[in-house]
Structure 1
Amino acid sequence: MNLKQQIAEDMKAAMREGDAKRRDAIRLLRAAIKQREVDERIELDDAAVVAVIEKMLKQRRDSIAQYEAAQRNDLADAEKYEVSVLQAYMPQALSDVEVEGAINEAISAVGAKGQQDMGRVMAVLRSELSGRADMAKVSALVRAKLAA
């Protein structure tokens, strides 16, 4: 079963169980997937669906930070719930040690010598780690390694 089918089945299950919060969160995800398919006139595969989920997770995390800064914990809690629902569809996250190893491999594979090679290293890592690691953290780690 591919990821889109799994999301559809989870939506049906949430509707049967009467779980309105979960149903609404999944409905938002399905709408984002459908919007991208319509916009680009393509059928999304699992990797593209993961990219949609990553984008939604980033938006939710940004919203949480803003809501907490404005002391709107009710809205922040709603966003946190959506993050937990969306996170369930992401591939298994890599540990810090695995991310570190992938960074070292990419740097040696590209033959990176300094900051000017950052784009090439990130291009390799993006295809390898997308959906399995926070790319903002990966970018910071790569920048630190190349600066050293």
Structure 2
Amino acid sequence: MTTLKAQLQEDLTAAIKDRDELRSSTIRLTLSAVTAEEVAGKTKRELSDAEVIKVVTREAKKRREAAEAFEAAGRTDQAARERQEGEVLAAYLPTQLSDDELTAIVAAAVAESGATGPQGMGAVMKLVRPKVDGLAEGGRVAAAVKAALTG
């Protein structure tokens, strides 16, 4: 079984051979971020697949935020490029939870914690976070918890 990092390296080689500039530059930047994470700290180490997924998630989030910023600035061509890079990275991430699945998990956590109102948000988030880690973006989770506690 190949690691996610090895898969990224294989896909980079294939993208370069296919002269796919978008894929090759996106994967190259992501591998650079993985390498930077590996050498951070006192000792160089190989990242686990879970850690590589966190790096890819962070890179995808950067692309999404950049696309929004470019869109707001009226630079639609650059925003489109950032979105395309985000789509390339999304292929390496686990499938995100649907809104219905997220709402069900949040509702179960609210019932389990007995929280009733905005002051219970921390307790609910503590229960929800481990269940949705990597499967839903933090902002989406927080919004769902807030809606469940105020709605």
TM above 0.5: yes
What does residue 6 of structure 1 align with?
7
Q: Deviations over 1:21-45 (max 9, x none)?
A: 2111000000011111111444321
1:141 to partner: Cα distance? 1.3
The answer to which of 108-117 and 66-75 deviates more is 108-117
Residues 102 and 144 in structure 2, CA contact (< 8 A), matched pair in contact too: no
What does residue 51 of structure 1 align with?
54
Other structure's SS at 2:40 match = helix
**Alpha-carbon separation, structure 2, partners of 1:68 and 1:97:** 29
**Alpha-carbon separation, structure 1, partners of 2:28 and 2:14:** 12
**Alpha-carbon separation, structure 1, partners of 2:146 and 2:76:** 34
1:97 to partner: Cα distance? 1.5
Q: Deviations over 1:45-93 (max 9, x none)?
A: 1222221122112211111111111111221122111101111111012
Percent identity, aligned pairs only? 39
The structure 2 residue matched to 1:116, chosen from 116, 119, 124, is 119
Paired residues for 1:90-101 under 5 Å = 90-101=93-104
The answer to which of 3-12 and 103-112 deviates more is 103-112
Which ranges in structure 1 are unaligned for 5 or more consecutive residues? none
1:13 to partner: Cα distance? 1.1
What does residue 140 of structure 1 align with?
143
**Alpha-carbon separation, structure 2, partners of 1:36 and 1:14:** 23
The answer to which of 107-116 and 84-93 deviates more is 107-116
Relative to structure 1, is the Cα distance of residues 45 and 14 closer, same or farther in structure 2, using a 3 angstrom cutoff?
Answer: same
Relative to structure 1, is the Cα distance of residues 120 and 3 closer, same or farther in structure 2, using a 3 angstrom cutoff?
Answer: farther
What does residue 102 of structure 1 align with?
105
**Alpha-carbon separation, structure 2, partners of 1:130 and 1:112:** 21
**Alpha-carbon separation, structure 2, partners of 1:109 and 1:38:** 41
Moved over 6 A (4+): none
Other structure's SS at 2:96 match = coil
Which ranges in structure 2 are unaligned for 5 or more consecutive residues? none
